[in-house]
Each structure stands twice: as structure tokens, then as C-alpha cells.
Amino acid sequence: MAKWFKTAVIVLFTAVVLVFTLQNIQSVTVAFLTASITLPVSLLVIGVYVLGMFTGGSLLSLIRHVMADRRQPQD
């Protein structure tokens, strides 16, 4: 039963991402300092989301590491 549920969630998520991508194909230009890039809105949103997951996960890992070091007794 769990395998079917997992498969259904993956199919639903894929369908939502596909609909989002197809509805947001217009291009936007993003400028930062002297560089600029033109890409579809959907790619920009997905890229920012993935970047946020990576940086957020790294921050949580760093905080856990610091807290673990503080809990260890000092010799």
C-alpha cells in the first residue's frame, strides 16, 4: 500500500510541476551587477527554490554542528 501511495505522490508532484512550467513559459530578464540573463519564469522559480533548499540545508547542518561542539565537554 505504501508503494502505491509513494507512486501517487510522485505522479501528482510531477503533474503539478509540469502544469506550473507550461503556464509560466514567458521570459524574464534577471540582472545582477553587470551580468544579466533571460530565462523562463518557471526555470527561475525552480532554480531559486533548489538554491534555497541547498543553502537552507547547509545552514541547518552548520547550526547542528556548532551546537554539537558546544555540548561536548572541554578538556
Q: What is the pLDDT of residue 45?
A: 86
Residue type, 25: I
Task: Copy the grid coordinates of residue 37.
Answer: 540573463
Q: What are 5-42's pLDDT values in tens digits? A: 989 999 998 999 889 888 888 999 999 999 999 998 88
By the 8 A CB rule, do 20 and 44 touch? no
Give the chain's length.
75
What are the boundaries of each domain within the chain? 41-75
Q: Would you say the pTM of this structure is higher than 0.75?
A: no
Backbone φ and ψ for 35, nearest 5 degrees, come out as: -95, 150
CA 36 to chain centre: 22
The pLDDT assigned to 28 comes to 93
Would the pLDDT of 2 be above 90? no
